[in-house]
């Protein structure tokens, strides 16, 4: 029997709440005709306001979408509606052979993918010169930042007579092509007084490392480049690791320009964690969508780092498969704290790391939410999780221990996925 995506997963693909609502009206069989699936793609024609129905096709592995409607949202309401129909009413999307227009679209996608693979990579010498030029600009900006930080400390943190907003310094970091430094500098104005010295020290350490990257070990230098804001180059990732990767969870964050999707995986054989990033411009959902709790057999190439985590998704071997019957193996709170400490030794600027906690109970107190395993307790990082998500976590738990996946760091634990009593994963981020 073919495994269908959950309604929750389909709705997570929507670019906005309006698209979710509109798709719900198209999730019944009435407006659809000519629907079908061959296990790798869906297709159908949806009756609209015009005489000609909209032709909609979806390639499930990526996923990718094609629709003849004029919508600029991606995926459009018709693609989402077809996915909801396939998910909730399997009989309405029977197995069959793709129509000609579907086959043509799938063939054109395959052809474009092959052409991209054939494109020559940038000349290594040109890449080296480009990175050297940018590295020199970053070093100049980082040296200026060190002076600014030292000046603030020299005058004393309580002396506000010379302390102006950090926006001017952040703008200088942008000019120096160091957006990572700029982002951390902007955060200084919002920090409470008691945390300033700590952040000054970490920022000074990062700026110092940015001026001496040629002297650092290769893995640590790669970490510093990432923290400073150098873009990840897929050409530097590798070698590939093939495994059956369990999708632990997904979280979307958005600003006025971009939606960033984080997808966390764990290798079934290697046990290695991995983080995939995908981006979508305004009005578009990020292209990468993997159902939580499923297994994806694929090659991943890790980007170099002192504590490798982010990876590039390479070749996939088939569609996502059903995952294990139970939740993934989890750590105790004490083991999670120790693991984070080890990771920080490799990457001093690491804010958090993916962690599965086993047999923990969510507890709400006057001081906030906590997770406890009966021996140790960890605070929940409420700033990273909507209040509704925490109440949902409590409802899933019903006061009993459960397995929770999320990010653990020095500011606490940010839950992403919980496994209910029936062992099904429940997403906590899109509520």
Q: How far apart are CA 384 and CA 415, in angstroms?
A: 9
What is the Rg, in whole angstroms, of the alpha carbon atoms belonging to the chain?
24
Q: Tokens for 164?
A: 């102006």
DSSP 263: E
What pLDDT was estimated at residue 283?
64
What pLDDT was estimated at residue 262?
93
- Positions in the chain whose pLDDT score sits under 70: 1-3, 116-123, 159-164, 282-283, 430-431
Tell me if 44 sits within 8 A of 4, measured CB to CB. Answer: no
Q: Tokens for 145?
A: 């930042």
Tell me the β-bridge partners of 302: 311
Q: Tokens for 242?
A: 């093939």
Tell me if 323 sits within 8 A of 249, measured CB to CB. Answer: no
Nearest to 184 by CA among 173, 175, 197, 195: 173
Backbone angles phi, psi at 68, to 5 degrees: -85, 5
Helix (H) or strand (E) holding 234: none
What pLDDT was estimated at residue 1?
41
Q: What is the pTM of this model?
A: 0.79
């Amino acid at each position: 029997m073919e495994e269908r995506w959950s309604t929750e997963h389909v709705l997570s693909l929507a670019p906005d709440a309006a698209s979710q609502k509109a798709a719900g009206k198209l999730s019944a069989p009435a407006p659809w005709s000519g629907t079908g699936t061959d296990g790798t793609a869906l297709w159908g024609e949806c009756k609209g306001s015009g005489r000609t129905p909209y032709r909609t096709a979806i390639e499930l592995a990526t996923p990718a979408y094609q629709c003849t409607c004029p919508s600029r949202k991606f995926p459009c309401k018709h693609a989402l509606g077809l996915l909801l129909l396939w998910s909730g009413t399997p009989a309405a999307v029977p197995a069959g052979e793709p129509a000609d227009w579907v086959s043509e679209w799938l063939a054109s996608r395959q052809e474009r993918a092959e052409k991209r693979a054939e494109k020559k990579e940038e000349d290594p010498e040109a890449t080296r010169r480009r990175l050297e030029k940018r590295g020199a600009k970053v070093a100049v900006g980082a040296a200026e930042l060190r002076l600014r930080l030292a000046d603030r400390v020299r005058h004393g943190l309580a002396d506000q007579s010379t302390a102006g907003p950090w926006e001017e310094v952040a703008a200088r970091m942008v000019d120096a092509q160091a957006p990572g430094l700029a982002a951390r500098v902007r955060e200084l104005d919002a920090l409470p007084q008691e945390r300033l010295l700590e952040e000054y020290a970490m920022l000074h350490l990062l700026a110092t490392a940015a001026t001496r990257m040629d002297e650092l070990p290769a893995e640590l230098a790669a970490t510093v480049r990432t923290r400073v804001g150098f873009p990840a180059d897929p050409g530097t990732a590798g070698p590939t690791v093939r495994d059956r990767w369990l999708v632990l969870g997904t979280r979307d964050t958005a600003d006025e320009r971009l939606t960033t999707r984080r997808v966390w995986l764990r290798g079934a054989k290697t046990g290695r964690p991995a983080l995939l990033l995908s981006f979508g411009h305004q009005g578009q959902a990020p292209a990468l969508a993997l159902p939580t709790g499923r297994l994806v057999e694929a090659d991943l190439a890790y980007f170099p780092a002192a504590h490798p985590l982010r990876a590039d998704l390479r070749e996939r071997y088939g569609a996502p498969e059903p995952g294990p019957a139970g939740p993934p193996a989890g750590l105790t709170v004490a083991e999670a704290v120790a693991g984070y400490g080890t990771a920080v030794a490799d990457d001093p600027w690491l804010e958090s790391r993916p962690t599965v906690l086993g047999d923990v109970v969510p507890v709400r107190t006057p001081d906030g939410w906590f997770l406890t395993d009966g021996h140790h307790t960890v605070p929940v990082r409420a700033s990273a999780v909507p209040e509704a998500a925490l109440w949902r976590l409590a409802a899933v738990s019903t006061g009993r221990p459960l397995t929770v996946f999320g990010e653990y760091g020095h500011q606490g634990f940010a839950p992403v996925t919980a496994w209910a009593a029936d062992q099904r994963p429940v997403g906590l981020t899109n509520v």
